[in-house]
Amino acid sequence: MHHKLAFIGFGNVARSLARLLMRKQAALERDYGITFSVTGIATGKHGYAVNPNGLDISQALQLVESGQSITSITNYHLPITTSIEVIAHSSADFMFENSPVNYETGQPAIEHVRAALNAGMRVSTANKGTVVHGYRELTALAKAKGKKFLFESTVLGGTPMFSTFREAMPAAELISFKGIINATTNIILSRMEAGETFEEAVRYCQGIGIAETDPSGDVDGWDASIKVAALATVLMKTPLKPQQVDRTGIRG
């Protein structure tokens, strides 16, 4: 079966996913009969591209990574200037929502997911804001449309957590959990233990691309709090906002 994919947000995570899909292309076709094309891409700083017949993924990756706009590769009879227009005109049946997280409201990601589900797409997101601020609404909307609202990579990335509970332990009841759920602060603390200053350790994490220029989301505990909120909301059926999580940063 052929799938048309739209990428809303095309940062590090989304581009790694695009590369992974290209690398797995042959295996997906051989083992699952799945082929795909990317028909829409929305970026924060590098423009928008739509082509219902398929965009050149390699070219899109190259343009963004060399700091250029992807608008040049679009091939559509209308001008496309917003993420919502990419969703509306991409003819995609699967939307990946990977725009930056908004801890307070989950927007505009929730808007993107809503638009895609309403257009009959299945949705997968790495955006934690959609889970803690829109879980019930978006899950109900997906169900009403007979589609899926998926968010596996919001917590623990490559380690399946939500799908393991959903598919492999459906009757289990989660009572508590503990663990390290923010890699950046974990690395910072380990490097400080080994003798670096807080500032040196933060710079190291920024250097390897896992901490933002403004590292507050990680070092003030917001990322960990929103992940705890997502786990409680979904796996413990207890709606929780990051603001309600008892939070201690590591600024010292």
Cα–Cα nearest to 16, from 89, 50, 65: 65
Lay out the site mask for a second copy across 124-163 (x = CB under 8 A, - = otherwise): ----------------------------x-------x--x
Smallest distance, Å, CB 21 to a second copy?
9
**Contact between 173 and a second copy per CB under 8 A:** yes
Buried b (16+ CB within 10 A) or exposed e, 24-38: eeeeeeeeeeeebbb
Q: Which residues, other chains included, contact 136 with Cβ-Cβ below 8 Å and sequence gap of 6+?
A: 239
C-beta of residue 146 within 8 angstroms of C-beta of residue 189: no
C-beta of residue 31 within 8 angstroms of C-beta of residue 82: no
Q: Which stretch binds a second copy (CB under 8 A): 40-48, 70-78, 103-111, 168-176?
A: 168-176
Closer residue to a second copy in complex, CB, 67/158? 158
The residues carrying an active-site annotation are 227
**Contact between 170 and a second copy per CB under 8 A:** yes
The phi and psi torsions of 41 (rounded to 5 degrees) equal -135, 130
Smallest distance, Å, CB 30 to a second copy?
11
Binding residues vs a second copy (CB under 8 A): 24, 27-28, 31-32, 152, 160, 163-164, 167-171, 173
